[in-house]
Amino acid sequence: MADVTEQPVIARRAVAEAEVAVSHETLSAIVDGTNPKGDVLSVAELAGVMAGKRTSDLIPLCHPVALTDLLVRGVPDRAAGVVRIRVETAAIGPGSVEMEALTAAAVAALTVYDMVRDLDPSAAVLGIKLLSRSGGESDTWQRTPEAGPSQGARVPRGARVAGRISSPPPRGSGGRIPPRRYGA
């Protein structure tokens, strides 16, 4: 578990995304509301919110975070044949909120899969990824469109990230936050 005692109390944000590939017929059933198990997008969004709030119960050694904002949106993309899940999280305090965003995206995607698997056995969760984060110890980061799984571009402090303005560096830190120490 990371020691967050000395971390400054600042606004922290993260945006994550997951995609679920489905057939065009299944995508039509989702959009038209004719899926036999009910409203896929509403149930997936609710499941994502519930999971994001319980991340510390699901991920070992993850600190409980008092989220101040958690938005989960499922958007069907007919051209790509996917349901795209986008999650935005925010909190004011020590510790980051990227695990909450990723957990919410993962559970929302799994919920979409669960609700359509009888209709579309070929449905698949394609991926879960962090799109951006700000306010944490690793400064501000944003995935570039061509970036691979571990690449990204730094976003200057004060720039707009996920429609919001990122926070300034903590006072007296010179913009740096000490490295994490692991242990129980």
Catalytic residues: 114
- CA 156 to CA 134: how far, in whole Å? 10
- Written as six digits, the tokens of 110 are 């799994």
Buried b (16+ CB within 10 A) or exposed e, 22-40: beeebbebbeeeebeeeeb
Q: How many CA atoms lie within 13 A of 147 on its CB side?
A: 15
- Which residue is it, tokens 């919920």? 111
User: 70 with 49: CB under 8 angstroms?
Assistant: yes
User: 85 with 109: CB under 8 angstroms?
Assistant: yes
